[in-house]
């Protein structure tokens, strides 16, 4: 039997994520389209986006904020290319985004003194092994495994190295400890449900000092250049972006930030995300054939909620067959218009991934869960019949 209730909005993708409730293209009407981004009007919009992000996220004045090209990937790689090479590096990886940054560091920048701490999908590396005398590169929330660091207690306040944190699927859903993050990066299409293409980078004073005193031994592409010959690119932190931004995307981010403010700011965004996780956790506890990929509750993400199917008959399938099984479930759900884009990332173990960020209404999450049961029963029946 198909469940009677449907989610009002079937958007559970991990990026771009659901727009904020009530969003329509009309919210973009005030965009400074057709204007130069360096005009006073364009600059005012860029500054407004940065100012509102600072306010909602409670980023201290000690940190500089810049909107940069290339989405979160651009922001992370800008940090890696601009800041690394001054000392040894500890890089943490437990899913595909950490693996990307590891490959950048080891294979592309060719840094020999890099220690890689790795854990399989569903787990975290041993954070106690990290040496804060070295630079540390890590992802706060591993979007493809649904595993996040539980806190920043493992980062020393008096560290000598820099922390470079890809925070894209954590920011706006976690109370980030800015004093422990010398560099944090994110993109708007995740927890804000904003449009993609631009990244944001927040640099603390120690990272700024590194920019001043360290010239990387490799070429730094113009798109990544935050400093030249020891001179900080001050303009980029004042809203004069490295290249031309989309003022439509900026407007969309401003709209999402105003919504976040009206909702009650970061505490409410966090609570909304945690309510999504709680709804799913209750259902998982009551459902015998599904589990979190992250067995340990304390490292479980409330944004990218990753689930695995546990029945022996499913476990006995080859990985490609398992993937086919969940793809079939997802296709049925998409066909019913109740869930889009909920298959686990292609590099993750076969399973489901539900986005639980603040732009997703918990009533929609709750309405989706009986539909997942319906799809599971349907595909299981098909498999048994074949």
Ligand X SMILES: Cc1ncc(COP(=O)(O)O)c(C=O)c1O
Residue 104 as a binder of ligand X (CB under 6 A): the answer is: no
Strands (E), the chain: 64-69, 89-93, 114-118, 135-139, 141-142, 147-148, 163-166, 183-187, 198-203, 227-228, 231-232, 290-292, 304-309, 352-355
* Residue 139 Cβ vs ligand X, minimum distance, rounded to whole Å: 5
Residue 357 as a binder of ligand X (CB under 6 A): the answer is: no
Q: Which is nearer to ligand X, 43 or 143 (CB)?
A: 143
Residue 71 as a binder of ligand X (CB under 6 A): the answer is: yes
**Binders of ligand X: how many residues, by CB under 6 A?**
11
Residue 102 as a binder of ligand X (CB under 6 A): the answer is: no
Residue 276 as a binder of ligand X (CB under 6 A): the answer is: no
Q: Which is nearer to ligand X, 72 or 364 (CB)?
A: 72
Give the DSSP H/E element, type plus range, for residue 224.
Answer: none
Q: Which of 12, 81, 97, 374 touches ligand X by CB under 6 A? A: 97
Residue 166 as a binder of ligand X (CB under 6 A): the answer is: yes
Q: Which residue has the tokens 């975290």?
A: 124
* Residue 289 Cβ vs ligand X, minimum distance, rounded to whole Å: 27
CA dihedral angle for residue 363, residue 367, residue 369, residue 372, rounded to 10 degrees: -140
Interface with ligand X by CB under 6 A: which range of 67-75, 216-224, 273-281, 366-374?
67-75
Residue 297 is classified by DSSP as G
Q: Show the binding pattern over residues 288-307: x = contacts ligand X (CB under 6 A), - = does not.
A: --------------------
Residue 187 as a binder of ligand X (CB under 6 A): the answer is: yes
Dihedrals phi, psi of 117, to nearest 5 degrees: -105, 115
> What DSSP string runs through 332-384?
HHHHTTS-BS-BPPTTSPSSEEEE-STTS-HHHHHHHHHHHHHHHHHHHHHHH
Residue 85 CB neighbours (<10 A): 20
Q: Show the binding pattern over residues 8-47: x = contacts ligand X (CB under 6 A), - = does not.
A: -------x--------------------------------
Residues lying near ligand X in the complex (CB under 6 A): 15, 71-73, 97, 139, 143, 166, 168-169, 187
């Amino acid at each position: 039997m198909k469940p009677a209730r449907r989610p009002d909005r079937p958007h559970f993708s991990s990026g771009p994520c659901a727009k904020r409730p009530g969003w329509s293209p009309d919210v973009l009407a005030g965009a400074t389209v057709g204007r130069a981004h360096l005009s006073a009007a364009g600059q005012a919009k860029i500054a407004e986006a940065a100012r509102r992000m600072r306010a909602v996220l409670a980023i201290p004045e000690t940190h500089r904020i810049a909107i940069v090209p290339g989405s979160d990937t651009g922001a992370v790689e800008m940090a890696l290319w601009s800041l690394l090479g001054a000392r040894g590096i500890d890089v943490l990886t437990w899913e595909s985004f950490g693996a990307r940054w590891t490959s950048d560091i080891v294979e592309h920048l060719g840094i020999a003194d890099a220690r890689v701490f790795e854990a399989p999908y569903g787990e975290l590396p041993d954070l106690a092994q990290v040496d804060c005398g070295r630079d540390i590169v890590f992802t706060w929330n591993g979007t493809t495994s649904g595993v996040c660091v539980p806190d920043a207690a493992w980062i020393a306040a008096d560290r000598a190295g820099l922390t470079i944190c890809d925070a894209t699927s954590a920011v706006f859903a976690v109370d980030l400890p800015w004093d422990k993050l010398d560099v944090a990066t994110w993109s708007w299409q995740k927890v804000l449900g904003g449009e993609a293409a631009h990244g944001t980078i927040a640099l603390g004073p120690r990272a700024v000092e590194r920019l001043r005193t360290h010239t990387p031994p490799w070429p730094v592409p113009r798109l990544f250049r935050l400093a030249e010959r020891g001179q900080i690119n001050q303009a980029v932190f004042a809203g004069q972006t490295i290249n031309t931004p989309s003022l439509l995307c900026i407007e969309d981010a401003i709209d999402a930030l105003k919504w976040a403010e009206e909702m009650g700011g970061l505490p409410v965004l966090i609570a909304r995300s945690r309510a999504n996780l709680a709804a799913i956790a209750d259902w998982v506890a009551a459902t015998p054939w599904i589990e979190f990929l992250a067995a340990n509750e304390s490292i479980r993400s409330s944004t990218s909620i990753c689930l695995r199917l546990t029945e022996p008959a499913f476990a006995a399938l080859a990985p490609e067959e398992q993937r086919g099984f969940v793809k079939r479930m997802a296709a049925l759900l998409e066909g019913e218009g109740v869930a889009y884009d909920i298959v686990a990332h292609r590099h993750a173990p076969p399973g489901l991934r539900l986005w639980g960020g603040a732009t997703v209404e918990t009533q929609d999450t709750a309405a989706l869960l009986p539909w997942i049961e319906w799809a599971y029963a349907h595909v299981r029946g098909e498999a048994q019949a074949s």
